[in-house]
Amino acid sequence: MGEKSKPRGHGTSRRKNATTQRDAHVAAGGDLHQVAGGKRPALTTNQGTTISDNQNSLRANTKGPTLLEDFVLREKIMHFDHERIPERIVHARGTGVHGFFELTTSLERYTTAKILTEVGEKTPLFARFSTVAGGAGSVDTPRDVRGFAVKFYTKEGNWDLVGNNVPVFFIQDAIKFPDLVHAVKMEPDRGFPQSASAHDTFWDYISLTPESMHMVMWIMSDRTIPRSLRMIEGFGVHSFRLIDRKGASTFVKFHWRPKLGLQSTLWDEAVKIAGADPDFHRRDMFEAVTAGNPPEWELAVQLFTQEQADEFPFDHLDATKLIPEELVPLQVIGRMVLDRWPNNFFAETEQVAFCPANIVPGIDFSNDPLLQGRLFSYLDTQLSRLGSANFHQIPINAPKCPFANQQRDGHMQMTQPVGRVAYEPNSLSPDSPREAASGGFASAAIPETGDKSRIRAESFADHYSQARQFYLSQTPYEQAHLASALVFELSKLEHLHIREAMVGHLRNIDEDLAARVAAGLALTPLPTAPAPAAPVQKFDPSPALQIIGKMKDTLAGRAVGILIADGSDGKAIEKIRKAAKAAGATVKVVAPKVGRVELAGGSVAAVDGQLAGTPSVMFDAVAIVLSDAGAKTLSKESAAIAFVADAFVHLKAIAVDAGGQVLLRKAGVKPDAGVVDCADVKGFITAAKTRQWEREKSVRMLA
């Protein structure tokens, strides 16, 4: 890491701490509610009680756990949880797959959790991937965070690791979550946009919430337009605790790393995929699993002590912060394999209920205030969505180990408890379940002292340092994509002052980024940057935060499309097909008509996709194999011209024969190093393993 100066927090006194968030609001362009002057009504609970602080939950101390007595938090979150029935409020559009987890390295030194100590044991699981903002009927490929939730059916009960494909989040405190989601969801007076953040209410909220700036960098990066759900990382987001046999605890962060490596789409490509196949990601996962190519992830952990945490130049309990891998290296401890598609989408993928409160002995929570609110919110939401406190009896949610308690009755009770006893302790039923002092769940024995308050820890005040680190860690191509994404999103806004406020925040992250975005929005002069609540630190770049720099040199899990027509060279087609499959890719033949194509010499080829319905955006690389007659015919077909033109502007490798070159010329494509002759099969496969990044500057204007 670079400089390790301690960040100032929200002031040196309780009074200054308590007002810092309001100060940040004002600095970002907002103004205080003048309730006393009658300009705005006071914010109250549903019972009419005036709320003094709507930004911070009530905690035992500035860095302590959130308290159950916080009726403001409970009312706000509970109302939010019940706003949609039965669709999930967030993460509504999901794809679920069965699989298993296999531990390869024991963490027995740190935890008693058997799933993390028994090497070689295969634990069944169910994983669900999802978009966040859109409804269940939205598309798969919007710019959005992807949920990454895993339910482990362990010997000691269900453990739910409920995270995202991004390691940080927008907010620091769960009390702000309803406002965040209300802002990003479709605007309530017009019902749009659906599954999109490019609108005024979202950026208005973000511009008034400086703590979101790190997450803004992630969501505007290529991370949120993935090529495949099989090619995303997963993160538990929060710090958790591992508890050893003596009761001592170690902090842990969980990471999922895809075996296929990371890969994203380009924005224009993602938009066109949504039109060609709204179910692109779901279909991709289905085809891989059912074809016997199960996706796989490594599970890695970052382990650190309280003493180490005290030396970090940020607070690990702040969900808007990550721990760079260069500071605390990842240790790979196991693997997840997804190998079985659900029998019924509704019964399993739709009814599965994840909850971060579902943990097993040997794992415990940290005092992260966002996590603390989630522990309440998820269960409350599931009671609303699934209609009964007995939702745990739905097969997809039920533990695979024995479970027993004295809970009875309720809507949709599926078991038939026997006997006269429904309480514990009791003396009338010696065989009824009892608490188990030995081996049962025990919380970490962490002392908590201090005054309960709604004051955020001053260590949470640094909102820009890691945002800056993320941006500077990207390759030049990724920086250009990020800046262009901001221009696109902010250009959709109706209100100029929100654009100006956001560019002001960007100046606190990086002046060059702010200038690029301002130029794309024609903003002159540059808006004033708000005063940071804490000094912006200069951390060293972290290459682990890139995508392009981490891409694997592989075609495994990718797709190659071959465009043909009557009279195409069958031998050339077969050589490309064979080489691509040997490299691990799937191959699909595209032609003007589905069914069959008569090749040169009289042989027949099967066709996988019709040209108009199978554009090149569906593939990672393409080959054009056409006879002279076929090329002449397709030169008059706009779908064929677009097939070639889009492949080129989306930076894909293209193999062409003489007929294919005719189509290139018709599409206005000037060949570069990524356009190879069909005879050079080896060269095509090599080029197909990556994007042709050098081509981008010649085909696209970026910020």
Residue 269 scores a pLDDT above 70: yes
- 657 and 680 Cβ atoms separated by less than 8 Å: no
Q: Is residue 549 part of a domain?
A: no
Q: Which residue in 17, 56, 158, 164 is the catalytic one?
A: 164
Cis, peptide link before residue 425, omega less than 30° from 0: yes
d(CA 606, CA 587): 12
- 133 and 93 Cβ atoms separated by less than 8 Å: no
d(CA 192, CA 211): 26
Task: Encode pLDDT of 356-381 as tens digits.
Answer: 999 999 999 999 999 999 999 999 99
Q: Which of 393, 413, 443 finishes a domain?
A: 393
Strand partners, 258: 297
The residue among 550 and 86 whose pLDDT is bigger is 550
Give CA torsion, residues 692, 702, 663, 284, to 10 deg.
Answer: 60
Residue 665 scores a pLDDT above 70: yes
Output b/e per residue, 19-34; b: 16+ Cβ within 10 A: bbbebbbebbbbeeee
CB atoms within 10 A of CB 69: 9
Per-residue pLDDT band for 474 (boundaries 50, 70, 90) equals: very high
pLDDT at 16: 42
CB atoms within 10 A of CB 86: 11
As a whole number, mean pLDDT of residues 178-206 equals 96
Q: Is residue 116 part of a domain?
A: yes
Q: Is residue 624 part of a domain?
A: yes
Q: Is residue 467 part of a domain?
A: no
Nearest Cα to Cα of residue 100 among 124, 127, 126, 129: 124
What is the percent of the chain where pLDDT is above 70? 94
Residue 29 scores a pLDDT above 70: no
Q: Which of 42-56, 173-187, 312-326 has the lowest mean pLDDT?
A: 42-56
As a whole number, mean pLDDT of residues 462-491 equals 98
pLDDT at 166: 98
The residue among 88 and 489 whose pLDDT is bigger is 489
CB atoms within 10 A of CB 2: 12
Determine how β-strand 559-563 pairs with β-strand 621-624: parallel
Q: Which of 76-80, 218-222, 307-311, 540-544 has the lowest mean pLDDT?
A: 76-80
As a whole number, mean pLDDT of residues 592-605 equals 92
Nearest Cα to Cα of residue 243 among 375, 149, 359, 376: 359
Per-residue pLDDT band for 89 (boundaries 50, 70, 90) equals: confident
Strand partners, 656: 624, 677
Nearest Cα to Cα of residue 256 among 365, 352, 330, 329: 330
As a whole number, mean pLDDT of residues 512-536 equals 97
- 135 and 193 Cβ atoms separated by less than 8 Å: no
d(CA 364, CA 82): 27
- 342 and 96 Cβ atoms separated by less than 8 Å: yes
As a whole number, mean pLDDT of residues 634-656 equals 98
Residue 109 scores a pLDDT above 80: yes
Q: Which residue in 10, 91, 214, 463 is the catalytic one?
A: 91
Q: Is residue 468 part of a domain?
A: no
Instruction: Tell me, rounded to whole angstroms, the distance of Cα 541 from its chain centroid.
Output: 22
pLDDT at 32: 36
Strand partners, 595: 607
Nearest Cα to Cα of residue 585 among 620, 624, 616, 610: 620
pLDDT at 472: 98
What is the percent of the chain where pLDDT is above 90? 81
Q: Give the domain extent around 353.
A: 86-215+227-393
Strand order in the sheet with 653-656: 609-610, 586-591, 559-563, 621-624, 653-656, 675-677
Residue 3 scores a pLDDT above 50: no
91 is catalytic: yes
Residue 8 scores a pLDDT above 50: no
Q: Is residue 208 part of a domain?
A: yes
**What CATH number has the domain bearing residue 267?**
2.40.180.10
pLDDT at 235: 98
Per-residue pLDDT band for 612 (boundaries 50, 70, 90) equals: very high
**Residue 512 structure tokens:** 């060059």
Q: What residue has token string 């799933």?
A: 115
As a whole number, mean pLDDT of residues 448-457 equals 92
Q: Is residue 418 part of a domain?
A: no
164 is catalytic: yes
Per-residue pLDDT band for 452 (boundaries 50, 70, 90) equals: very high
d(CA 182, CA 625): 50
DSSP letters of 613-666?
Answer: GS-GGG-SEEEE---HHHHHHHTT-HHHHHHHHHHHHTT-EEEE-HHHHHHHHH
pLDDT at 12: 35
d(CA 120, CA 482): 42
Q: Which of 364, 393, 422 finishes a domain?
A: 393
Cis, peptide link before residue 278, omega less than 30° from 0: no
Task: Encode pLDDT of 546-571 as tens digits.
Answer: 999 999 999 999 999 999 999 999 99
**Residue 76 structure tokens:** 């706000």
pLDDT at 37: 54
Q: Is residue 67 part of a domain?
A: no
Q: Which of 344, 371, 393 finishes a domain?
A: 393
Number of domains making up the chain: 2
pLDDT at 368: 97
Instruction: Tell me, rounded to whole angstroms, the distance of Cα 329 from its chain centroid.
Output: 21
Q: Which of 32-41, 274-283, 476-485, 548-557 has the lowest mean pLDDT?
A: 32-41
As a whole number, mean pLDDT of residues 157-163 equals 96
As a whole number, mean pLDDT of residues 246-256 equals 97
pLDDT at 327: 97
Per-residue pLDDT band for 85 (boundaries 50, 70, 90) equals: low
- 162 and 355 Cβ atoms separated by less than 8 Å: yes
**What CATH number has the domain bearing residue 583?**
3.40.50.880
Whole-number mean pLDDT of the chain?
92
Per-residue pLDDT band for 20 (boundaries 50, 70, 90) equals: very low
